[in-house]
Structure 1
Amino acid sequence: MNCEAIHCLDTETVRFAIYPDGFDGPRIMARIADDALHNLFGASNDEISLLKACEAHFDVIEAKAVERYRASPCTPITLTANDIEASMPLAEASCS
Structure 2
Amino acid sequence: MDFEGIYCFDTATVRFAIYPDGRDGARIIAQISEETLHDVFGTRNLGDRLLDTCKTHFVALSAAALRCHRANPKAPICLTIDDFSPRALPRSANDHDATSGAPVAA
Q: Same fold (TM over 0.5)?
A: yes
CA distance, structure 2, for counterparts of residue 32 and residue 46 of structure 1: 13
Offset at 1:45? 4.7
The residue that corresponds to 2:53 in the other structure is: 53
Q: Please, what is the CA RMSD of the aligned residues? A: 1.8
State yes or no: 1:11 paired with 2:11: yes
SS at match of 1:83: helix
CA distance, structure 2, for counterparts of residue 58 and residue 15 of structure 1: 12
Preserved contact between residue 33 and residue 81 of structure 1 (Cα < 8 Å): no
The residue type equivalent to 1:49 in the other structure is R
TM-score, length basis structure 1: 0.84
Give the gaps of 5 or more residues in structure 2.
90-101
What percent of counterpart residues are identical? 48
Task: Map Cα deviations across residues 58-87 of structure 1 (whole Å, 9 max, x no partner).
Answer: 101100101111111110000012212334
Which of structures 1 and 2 has the larger relative contact order (alpha carbons within 8 angstroms, sep 6+)?
Answer: 1
Give the gaps of 5 or more residues in structure 1.
none
SS at match of 1:31: strand
- Count how many residue pairs are aligned between Structure 1 and Structure 2: 92
CA distance, structure 1, for counterparts of residue 51 and residue 32 of structure 2: 11
CA distance, structure 1, for counterparts of residue 36 and residue 73 of structure 2: 22
SS at match of 2:20: coil
CA distance, structure 2, for counterparts of residue 42 and residue 49 of structure 1: 14
The residue that corresponds to 1:74 in the other structure is: 74
SS at match of 1:10: coil
